Structure formats: structure tokens, C-alpha cells
Structure 1
Amino acid sequence: MTPVTTLRSWLSPPAQNPATPLDAPARRALWIEITIVLLVTFGLSGISSILSLLEAALAPEPLADQTIALNAPRSSQEFIDLARQLLGILRLAAWGALGMYLLWRSGFGPKVVGLARPYLRRDVLPGVGLAALIGVPGLLFYLASRAVGVNLTVAPSVLEDYWWRLPTEVLWAIANSGAEEILVVAYLITRLRQLGWSENGSLVASALLRGSYHLYQGLGGGVGNVVMGLVFGRFWQRTGKLWPLVIAHALIDTVAFVGYQALRGQVSWLP
């Protein structure tokens, strides 16, 4: 099989098993569930991000001259700051648990959505590969977006240099990846499949949701995450494996958070 044929195969939608049609009350209940889940989690974050981008665009300073910190101190008191960081991490973990619980209650347990016991060759190595595939071009795309003025300057982590900074940054990365990949990929695409959406339609909806709650970073952040969502979503649709997505996302965020702190002030292209 040639590389072009392989790429075309991955870009085309996977075969979709016919689902049992839902009656009107069941469809209505499912739409209500999706709406509530998204309003509690990333849907509301998407609306907030749109407002943040609008606010930044209306400011007198160009977008590239404005800085947004992803992980910032939450208190001037060290242990209160730590407690609030951990609460934020716990909230993300709860979001992911909510999505997984609702899927499990409807017959889609962890094994079904690709969160069975992870294996090195089947899950970890593909996760590392996906991290490289998305992470390196993503960094270049961010730098280009900032250079042309459509993205804010993103500071991945500006936490104080306390003893708990490094493990907290890693926990943030794990919590982000778990919540996003469970809710935005496994939960949303599964629910849209149940509602009769096509594979391409559910993939685009998932990717647009992912892009929406990153718009606070600028148009570059939104578009870059839509592309990431298309790649991740199609990978899951094709393989049924969620662990590689969680691992890849956690690696990307960990490198961003920890690497930024290590390189800040050492290289000219970092704020």
C-alpha cells in the first residue's frame, strides 16, 4: 500500500455500524444530556473563550503584544495557591469521570471506548508518535500565528518556583488530557453516533468544540486545535483506542508547561 493510499484510507470515514434507531423521547433525552454536559464542561469554556478573544481583539494593544498564561498562580500564599491548583486539577478529573460514567451507564464502558489496560506497543508508542506529529507542527504554527498577529503570546506556565511546581504541572497535563479526550472525543462522538450523525459530521463537531475553547489564545490557537481534533478524532474512529490520545495530549502539555519554565529567558522566541 502506497503512502498516498494509506493517507486516503485514513482521511475517508470508517465504516459505521448501523445503530438501533432511537425513538423521539430517547433522542430528546440524549440531546438534553449532551447540552447539560457541555454547559457544565467544555461547551461553556468555548463560549467564555470566544468572549475572551473578542475582548482581546477590542483592546488597543495588538494580539501578539498581549500575553495569556495557561497555568498561573491563584494566590499569593504558597499553600493556598497549591490548594487551588489541586482543586482545578480535581475539577478536570471530575469532568472526565462524568463523561466516562455516563458512557458506562449506557453500555459503553472503558474497554469499549478504548481505555482498557494500556500496553506499550499498542497504546504508549502510538501516543508518543501522535505527540510528535501534533506537537512540533503545532509549535511552528503558533509561532507563525503570533508573527502575523492573529494569536496572543501564550505563556504555558508562570507558576512560582515552589517545590510542588513540577508535579503540579504534570498533574495539570494529565487532567487536561483525560478530560478533553474522554469528553470531546469518546463521549461526544459516541453520543452523536447514537443520534445518527455520520462519522464525518461527528468528527467535525468534536474538532470544532476543541477549537472553540482554545480561542482565548487567538485564532491560531483555535485553528490549530481544530486540526488536532480532526487528527485525534479520526484516529479514535479508526482504531477505537483512546489511550494513545490521552498519552499524546499529556506529553504535549507536559513538554509545554515544563519546557517553558526551563527555557524562559534562555531563548529569544519565548516571552
Structure 2
Amino acid sequence: MTTHHEILEAALTRITAGYVFPEQTAAVDAALRRRLAEGAYQDLDERELCERVTDDLQNACPDKHLRLLWTEEPQPMDEEPEDVARARFARYARENNYGIRRVEQLDYNIGYLDLRMIAPAELGGPAIAAAMQLLAPTEALVIDLRECQDGSPEGVQLWCSYLFADDEVHLNDIYERATDSTRQYWTLGHLAAPRYLDRPVTVLTSDLTFSGGEELAYNLKVLGRATVVGQTTRGGAHPTARIPVAPHVTVTVPTARSINPVTGTNWEGVGVEPDLAVAVGDALETALRHLRTRLG
């Protein structure tokens, strides 16, 4: 059985080597070693260890993607072959309908799109196009991200592209530590379904909305394309690697960071603030009232 000390050593090694803000790794290392010396992790099972270490990590460095996660099913410690990992994720995305839970026409010809994840464009492209084809005749749109907690930058890029007229909208940049390079994301020129233009859009958020769901909300808000309704989101803006450090324990290490071309920053630690702040259960009705007013 892997000891708590071995788990912490492995996690700190991965954080030091890969964290997107290397200047902060010394403080993280010192904080966890101090807590270990104080006996803060004694008599904890692995699940409890993950919770306690995650709290300590985020106290030392308030990055909500920097965590230890416990999994009930044991995981192989050898690095998974890339083709196996891709196949496993493709199966997961397919079984979850590429994140598209519902597409519906509501009263007053308002479209409703419920997204639970933002699938990569190469996997979810046909499903995304099918959803946008169904929504094409509507006069306004609600995008429900209240339970959307994961996503791909390329998937966000594709969803956003349907809401702008051409390929000239700069959406986001992502800086990657490993390559010391920045990739730009712009709207796409060719799409497989009609663009959704010149009609009002609202985005629903909650305190569960995270990661890729937040990027979609943030992009549309700062570009003035959508009104955000609901609660401030969780605040996780950093693309993250997941690395096993014990059969039941994974460390998540942010290896890149988003840089929005409009704001020059991102939503890490602060979340996406709504334009219309309401309780999560009131968000849909509030959005519908707002859209009906816009439609006249």
C-alpha cells in the first residue's frame, strides 16, 4: 500500500514539474511539507487525505484545479497509452451524448439548449451541428450551463462559432507551460449547420458551473453576445492534467492558463459573474422573461 508520505512526494513532484505558475510551486511544496510535519495527515484514510490535502493546496495557492482526487475503482499506475485514453474518452462522450442533454422549442419560439459538458469538436461536431440545426428556426436562445462542469477549448470554440457571423472573432488564448507557447482560438469559418445570428441569447449559470462551461459563459459575456443569468460560477480557468500517484489517488495539475483577448485575464478563482443575479432555481424563468421583453 502506498504511504501518505509517498503520495505527497509523488504529487509535489508532479506539481513542481508541471504547474503553469512555476513561481508558486515552492510555496505549495513548503506548505504541504509543513502540514505533514505537523501530523495533519496522520490517521486519515486516503479519501480523507485527498480532501485535507486539497484544502491545504488551495490555501497555499487558490487554484481550484489544483487537487488530490480519490477514486473508488483502482487505476493503473503505468501511463495509459494515448490511443487507449482517447478511445475511453470517446466512449464516455458518446454515452453522454456529447454533453447535449436537451434541445427544445419553448413557448414564444424560444430555443432551449441544456449542456452538461463541452465535448471536443472532433467528437461532438455532428451532434453540435444537429442541435444548432434544430434551434435554427427559433427567435431567441437559452443555453443552460448550470450543470456543465467540464469541457474542451476546441468544443467551446465550435459552440461560440455558431453565435458569430464569421471567422474574425478572437475568443481566447491558452498559454502552455510545457512548450512555453500560446495558442489562439478564433471563431471558425466553416460550420455544418446555420449560424445563430441577430437574435438574443441568454446563458444560465450556477455555482456548479466549472471549467469549459465557464469559458463558454465568459467568452459570450465579454464579447457582448449573451446575457448571463444565475449565480457566479466556481472559478476554474486552467487546463489540467490528471496524473495517478497511487491506485486510488490522482493529482490534478493545471498545466496551462486562459488569457481572454478582451479582458487580458480569466475567471480563475473569481468565477463568471452573472449580468442578472438570481437563485439557481429562478434562472430559467428570469431568462425567459428577459428574452420575451427583448422580443417585444
Higher relative contact order, chain-length normalized (CA < 8 Å, sep 6+) = 1
TM-score between both structures, scaled by the size of structure 2:
0.27
TM-score between both structures, scaled by the size of structure 1:
0.29
More strand by percentage: 2
